[in-house]
Amino acid sequence: MIIADDNSDGIASLKFELACCLAMKDLSILRYFLGIEVAYSPKSYLLLQSKYISNLFECARLTNNRIVDTPIETNVRYAPSDRPPLLDPSLFRTIVGSLVYFTVTRPDIVYAVYVVSQFIAAPIIVHWVIVLHILRYLQSTQFQNLLFPSTSYLELRAYSDVNWDDDPMDYKSTTGFCVFLGDSLILLKSKKQDVISRSYIKTEYNVMTSTTCKIVWLRSLLTDMCISLHQPTLLYYDNQSVIRIARNSVFHKPTKHIKIDYDITRYHLQIITIILSFVS
């Protein structure tokens, strides 16, 4: 259990109450928790999983020092195959499951892990090669970490994007967004859509609306924590057409079916909860 508060007397009181009810050991300042190493200074917190990934290398029996620069091969699409599956897929499943947990501190491998997770049922040699590629990337970036600076300004900014019709297996789109509080990444999501979309504009606008709803929720949560946000949240997007639709109250035939999503985003633009900004 991690107890976090800026009131040391409150922490001490809670520890005493818990010790009266449970067999408990106080490990003092947080250093290690469920495979996550925590380094603290007055200026920042660092989260990393270097020991966890070392154990993963041993489990995968990765012996050579070959490294790569990217988590996954670029511009390559992977799909299930009728080729013979791995004779013993248990190691593949163990490594992929461990990589899923490793994304807690390494959001840069989220997409690569999402790709290999789709082949858990019947992995083949090609899928095992992808896993080895991820591990070799992690070998070159083993001590990369998440930084949470204490001096960071307390303003939200968000980025959202979508890959329309990018899955060769079912042609569903993948949408995602990330939200920063100052320089700290506090929320990240990447998800394949449940249905196939025939409209590129609808897919783009849906992810913008989802991100807007998360921003509204985060602003409310931060307000409850007595953090005042004086500026609207910047939402960065890479599609000028969708930004213009959000700002323009005139509907045309291709956009009538997204009116509800439009109204949500449009409303928060009007009350200046968010500001839309183009990013390449």
Q: Which pairs from 188-197 meet CB under 8 Å and 24+ separation? A: 188/107, 188/110, 189/214, 190/110, 190/111, 190/114, 192/114, 192/167, 196/165, 196/170, 196/171, 196/172, 197/164, 197/165, 197/172, 197/173
Low-confidence stretches of the chain (pLDDT < 50) are none
Where are the domain boundaries for CATH 3.30.420.10 in the chain?
153-278
Per-residue pLDDT at 270: 83
Token digits of residue 140: 């070159």
Judge contact between 173 and 144, C-beta under 8 A. Answer: no
Tell me which fold the domain 153-278 belongs to. Nucleotidyltransferase; domain 5 (3.30.420)
Judge contact between 38 and 52, C-beta under 8 A. Answer: no
- Give the containing element (helix H, strand E) for 49: none
pTM, rounded to two decimals: 0.74
Per-residue pLDDT at 11: 92
Per-residue pLDDT at 204: 79
- What phi and psi values does residue 261 have, to the nearest 5 degrees? -60, -40
Per-residue pLDDT at 38: 92
Single-letter amino acid code for the residue at 126: V
Per-residue pLDDT at 95: 93
Per-residue pLDDT at 165: 58
Per-residue pLDDT at 253: 55
